[in-house]
A and B are shown apart, each in its own frame.
Chain A
Amino acid sequence: MRRRRWRPLLRRTLRGLAFIAVAVWSLFPILFVVHASFRPPATIFAVPPQFMVAPTTQNYVELARLWPDFFGSLINSLIITLGATALTVVASALAGWVYARRRGRLLTSSAFFMVLVRMFPPIVITLPLFPAVNAAGLSDTHLVLVLLYAAFFVSLGTWIMKAFVDQVPREFEEAAEVDGASLFQMLRHVIVPLVIPGMIAAAVFIFIFAWNEFLFAFVFTTTRARTAPLIISEMLGSVTGVDWGPVFAAATIQLVPVLLFVVLLQRHLVAGLTAGGVKG
């Protein structure tokens, strides 16, 4: 009987430690960077490590002085991210509704095609698109990245939207038809209000991806359309050696908005991943 008493306690302690380990693993690298961005540069790589130093905004001032382009790149990132998100959500919602409601061999084949294309590696298309984009005069524009980002997430988005439309009873649509609503009025006033959570879920994924993406920004932009991740990577590649203080400041500015986004919209992220991943 004595065994019974300490076992639950041991179990609780071990579980508690496991939760702490998980939290440290996930958060430590993030907090390290954010924290380092407020430390005087000389203490960042001090041995032994100094974590308790008076916070300073010196790194942010240096960032503004040495890399003024960074702030313009945040605007570029924002424009591209919002553009790609809007395009993906609209295209996905339209297609998702059709795939949820309509049947036909050709339609099903096109749905399968969407899943198939999800398997294509992104880097492969840079080979023909690099010269094509240059020839079309689209190199270094926001539009190229908007189209590319939307293309790589429209499939997941469509699957998320289909799963959400499937939850809406058909009777609602039929009632609207009886009332003489056109197809677009019905979609706008009946379907859209009911699948807003799905649209948010789809938007969360494309937003995170577009805000953070590196490869396409690296290949297709040179000056005017450079995104924040690209400028940060350029700071890392500086020939005179990396000036870590501003790098941490830039990384913090880049990551905080999207981190808040994920924390606030986590419910939609979970719903979207289960709808778009497992079932599709």
Chain B
Amino acid sequence: MRARPIHYLLVSPAQLLLVVTIFVPSLWVGWLSLHEASFGTEARYVGFANYTRLAADPYFWRAFLNTVVIVNVIVYAELLLGLGIALLFAGGLPFPRLMLAIVLAPYAISEVVVVIMWKTMFEPQVGVMQLLLAALGIPGLEWAVNPVHGLTLIVLLAVWHHLPFTFLLLYAALLGVPKELHEAAKVDGAGAWRAFLHVTLPSIMPAILVALLFRYVFAFRLFSEPWLLTQGGPARMTEVMAVYLYKAAFRYHELGLAAATGWAMLLLSLAISVPYLRAVRRRMFADAA
């Protein structure tokens, strides 16, 4: 049925929230990125000077590189672990309500508390994980002084925190794979591995792609974990793009530089989601006809 004005009125609260608090401010950042400004001063048009300054700033490239590397590690580690757990669960689950509650538990925890947990477990010399690693003869993580170790800890806690999301999408998809498909594969004499590769995997591929896309877009925003754990230190070596943006704006009061970073983050997020957005748009407008 066709939409009438009353229906536009009904969607307007949701749309207004998006337009006023997210869409317009984001466009405004694009405008801001072409200006030199600080909080409380008049903006002055400078063209693309902020972008050229970004491109010349080694700290920006460090943050960019860190982001690209850890986002990829986080997303694929989650995918492998999430798929593994989903397959384990789909193969028969003892105490299903309890086990699902256990796996979903990290989803309930605040980033701040997640950082507290992992920080104390990896406290140099005295954290339980450090002691466990030492007992196994593995050198501990010197995350406060070694940037690679710092980023490793950030990856670890991000994976722990967001695994429930990836797991849940894949598990729901696995439960939706028709049993007959598996039986047909068995009749044809396919082994477990071949059945997985040729039957299970293609059936859950849409869910895998959606999980990947959302985790890419959301991991790319990562701020609280690195901020609370290392504040980008030592010597700005563990910054990610969001931390770089925050420092540029609220520590160095370089609003134009922060805006250029923000606009870059926005465009990269949209670029990552183009295939998904195109698919969604095609389906929506086919539906609307």
Q: Give A residues with C-beta under 8 Å from B.
A: 15, 18-19, 22-23, 25-27, 29-30, 32-33, 36, 44-49, 87, 90-92, 94-95, 97-99, 101-108, 110-117, 119-132, 147-148, 150-152, 154-155, 158, 183, 208, 211-215, 219, 229-230, 232-233, 236, 244, 247-248, 251, 254-255, 258-259, 261-263, 266, 269-270, 273-274, 277-278, 280
Q: Which of B44-52, B58-66, B179-187, B273-281 makes up part of the contact surface? A: B273-281
Query: Is A214's CB under 8 angstroms from B111's CB?
Result: yes
Query: Is A47's CB under 8 angstroms from B125's CB?
Result: yes
Q: List 8 A-B contacts (CB under 8 A).
A: A29-B118, A91-B13, A103-B287, A115-B277, A154-B14, A183-B6, A274-B169, A278-B207
Query: Is A127's CB under 8 angstroms from B29's CB?
Result: yes
By a CB distance below 8 angstroms, the chain A residues around B109 are 30, 212, 255, 258-259
By a CB distance below 8 angstroms, the chain A residues around B280 are 112, 115, 280
Q: How far is the CA of A91 from the CA of B6 in the complex (A)?
A: 14
Q: How far is the CA of A164 from the CA of B109 in the complex (A)?
A: 27
> Among B1, B17, B173, which residue has its beta carbon within 8 angstroms of that of A151?
B17
Query: Is A124's CB under 8 angstroms from B262's CB?
Result: yes
Say yes or no for B75: interface residue by CB 8 A criterion: no
Say yes or no for B126: interface residue by CB 8 A criterion: yes
Query: Is A121's CB under 8 angstroms from B262's CB?
Result: yes
8 residue pairs, one from A and one from B, having the closest CB atoms: A212-B110, A124-B262, A29-B117, A95-B14, A102-B3, A151-B21, A262-B108, A108-B288
Q: Interface size (B, Cβ < 8 Å)?
A: 99
Query: Is B11's CB under 8 angstroms from A107's CB?
Result: yes
Query: Is A266's CB under 8 angstroms from B101's CB?
Result: yes
Given A255-B108, A273-B168, A244 and B255 touching (CB < 8 A)? no
B134 to chain A, nearest CB (A): 10
A204 to chain B, nearest CB (A): 10
Chain B minimum-CB-distance residue to A161:
B14
Say yes or no for B224: interface residue by CB 8 A criterion: yes
By a CB distance below 8 angstroms, the chain B residues around A152 are 22
B194 to chain A, nearest CB (A): 18
A110 to chain B, nearest CB (A): 6
Say yes or no for B139: interface residue by CB 8 A criterion: no
Q: How far is the CA of A106 from the CA of B2 in the complex (A)?
A: 11
Query: Is A155's CB under 8 angstroms from B18's CB?
Result: yes
Q: How far is the CA of A213 from the CA of B258 in the complex (A)?
A: 22
Chain B minimum-CB-distance residue to A228:
B110
Query: Is B131's CB under 8 angstroms from A49's CB?
Result: yes
Given A15-B91, A151-B21, A211 and B117 touching (CB < 8 A)? no
By a CB distance below 8 angstroms, the chain A residues around B116 are 33, 232, 236, 247-248, 251
Q: How far is the CA of A44 from the CA of B121 in the complex (A)?
A: 11
Q: How far is the CA of A48 from the CA of B161 in the complex (A)?
A: 28
Q: How far is the CA of A277 from the CA of B107 in the complex (A)?
A: 15
Interface string of B70-89 (1 = CB under 8 A from A): 00000000000000010010
Given A32-B117, A33-B116, A127-B32, A112 and B284 touching (CB < 8 A)? yes
Given A98-B7, A129-B21, A158-B14, A262 and B107 touching (CB < 8 A)? yes
Q: How far is the CA of A19 from the CA of B85 in the complex (A)?
A: 9
Say yes or no for B214: interface residue by CB 8 A criterion: yes
Query: Is B1's CB under 8 angstroms from A123's CB?
Result: no
Query: Is B265's CB under 8 angstroms from A91's CB?
Result: no
Say yes or no for B269: interface residue by CB 8 A criterion: yes
B121 to chain A, nearest CB (A): 6
Query: Is B126's CB under 8 angstroms from A266's CB?
Result: no
By a CB distance below 8 angstroms, the chain A residues around B285 are 105, 108
Q: How far is the CA of A238 from the CA of B180 in the complex (A)?
A: 60
> Among B4, B20, B258, which residue has its beta carbon within 8 angstroms of that of A127?
B258
Query: Is A125's CB under 8 angstroms from B25's CB?
Result: yes
Q: How far is the CA of A94 from the CA of B17 in the complex (A)?
A: 13
Chain A minimum-CB-distance residue to B28:
A128
Say yes or no for B251: interface residue by CB 8 A criterion: no
Q: How far is the CA of A76 from the CA of B6 in the complex (A)?
A: 36
Say yes or no for B123: interface residue by CB 8 A criterion: yes
By a CB distance below 8 angstroms, the chain B residues around A113 are 15, 18, 23
